[in-house]
Amino acid sequence: MSLHKLSGWQISEKLKKKEIGLGEVVSFFQERVQRLNPKIKAVISLFDEPLGPEKDSDSKLWGVPVLIKDNICIKNKEITCASKILKGFISPYNATVIERLRKAGLVILGTANMDEFAFGSSCENSCYGPTLNPWNESCVPGGSSGGCAAAVAAGLVPCALGSDTGGSIRQPASFCGAVGFKPTYGRVSRFGLVAFGSSLDQIGPISRDIVDSAYLLNIVSGKDSRDSTSASIAVPDFSKSFDGSLKGLKVGLPKEYFVSGLDGQVKKTVELAISVLKSKGIEFSEISLPHTEYAVPTYYILASSEASSNLSRFEGIRYGKRIHQNNLIELYKRTRQEGFGQEAKRRIMLGTFSLSSGYYEAYYLKALKVRWLIKKDFDQAFKAYDAIITPTSPTAAFKIGEKADNPLSMYLSDIYTISCNLSGVPSVSIPCGFTQEGLPVGLQLISKHFNEEMLIRLAHAYQESTDWHKQFPVNYE
């Protein structure tokens, strides 16, 4: 039975019609993880007892197995953020999204690999070792939600939950040929997500098609009293966005995203995808987002500053790894020195410097002002356009180790995604083709705050006209 080639909603329909049993579905995907995960190292922990449905539900994804990124808390399970410093930490509570998944009847199989504390664009910065891309095992799957994207692409699960601070859902989805959805900041509760950049982080779905992502988004979205940043805005039924004519919609193509630095094959593939949408009556125009060039430095100042503050709590006293010393200061120093990886240390130092006396105004405060200008660019664009379309990443997946010694080159991998986090707008990456080397390419759709329906509408229309989302890595058929 080829259950791994079905979407989550198709599996759920078969379960409800009793064409297959829940135990059969769970066993099938457990066996796939056990057999195939050693090849790509996407899964950190496969639970001995999967967290099954709490009760029957009319959810469109009832009974569907999912993986959870290793920075989202699951009660009584080890959550490490792929870092040595949190080894042995057992979460005493569930994140809000976990509660909502269980209430909707999804089955949590285990946790997925990631860049340590979500610091990275390749899933190489993990204490468990790198995850490999199922389309080419010599390439990275992207990051930081690389384990989730690789697992979905390889059919280890139909869908997963990741987090996105600067592209960490969309970029790996692009590299692995999956759908990766970053909702509007505030649409989904962050309670129980181990914080990286608190003003940037957002939880979202990764799946094989947009339908599963829309259903998952409906399940996890909504106001949460335990998260003061979650928005008191009604959650629409996203499944109602699957239909409707696209004729007359206005979409902007920002000229800053189609410049030198964009790989030629990626550009050609994206342009072909745009032509598919043009044939449906969408009106495309070139636009400008003039502050795009400042997005990368702005993001890495703000994100690293917030990371420096958030990671100060990991000192060996309250949870996780502790290097025993007679002197308290030495305990802190040794624990953090041995517990944090190289990239985590780099970002802590960069953030601490940006927040330090004498540099706060020159760096952090200035970055906040530029962030406002970047958001203003989007606000202005959405006064005239329904959506914006760009490549998700300037390149397809790169080789493992290729950028490991060049942090700046690695940071530029997120150049097309980070502006959405800085401005808080929703965006989704959908598969739109392959390079000559057989590596997936992603198309990024962006819309105004709390207009996820527009993204789903566009993505579904494109998906109905193509079959890229149905392609499967040869070694994982």
Q: What is the pLDDT of residue 1?
A: 62
Tell me if residue 179 falls in helix, strand or coil.
Answer: strand
Q: Which residues contact 138 (CB under 8 A, 6 or more apart)?
A: 132, 399, 400
Q: Is the pLDDT of residue 42 over 90?
A: yes
Domains of the chain by range and CATH?
3-247+450-476 (3.90.1300.10)
Would you say residue 90 has pLDDT above 90? yes
Report the first-to-last Cα separation within the chain, whole angstroms: 11
Residue 152, token pair as written in the block: 């979905």
The 10s digit of each residue's pLDDT in 389-400 is 999 999 999 999
The answer, yes or no, to whether residue 158 has pLDDT greater than 90, is: yes
Cα–Cα distance between 209 and 459 in angstroms, integer? Answer: 9
Residues 6+ apart with CB under 8 A from 127: 80, 82, 83, 84, 87, 116, 341
Which residues contact residue 108 at a Cβ distance below 8 angstroms, ignoring those fewer than 6 apart? 47, 50, 51, 65, 66, 67, 68, 74, 98, 101, 102
Give the whole-angstrom CA distance, residue 206 versus residue 175: 12
Average pLDDT over residues 454-470: 97
What's the pLDDT at 300? 95
pLDDT digits (tens, 9 = 90+) for 426-439: 999 999 999 999 99
The stretch 348-367 carries a mean pLDDT of: 94
Give the per-residue pLDDT at 411: 81
Sheet-wide strand order for 202-207 = 43-51, 107-112, 65-69, 159-164, 202-207, 179-182, 427-434, 440-446, 387-391, 250-254, 283-287
- Lowest mean pLDDT, pick from 58-62, 197-201, 354-358, 406-410: 406-410
Position 54 pLDDT exceeds 80: no
Encoded tokens for 182: 């970053």
Q: For the beta carbon of residue 432, count every other beta carbon within 10 angstroms.
A: 27
Active site residues: 69, 144, 168
- pLDDT tens-digit map of 277-319: 999 999 999 999 999 999 999 999 999 999 999 999 998 888 8
Question: Is 80 exceeded by the pLDDT of residue 64?
Answer: yes
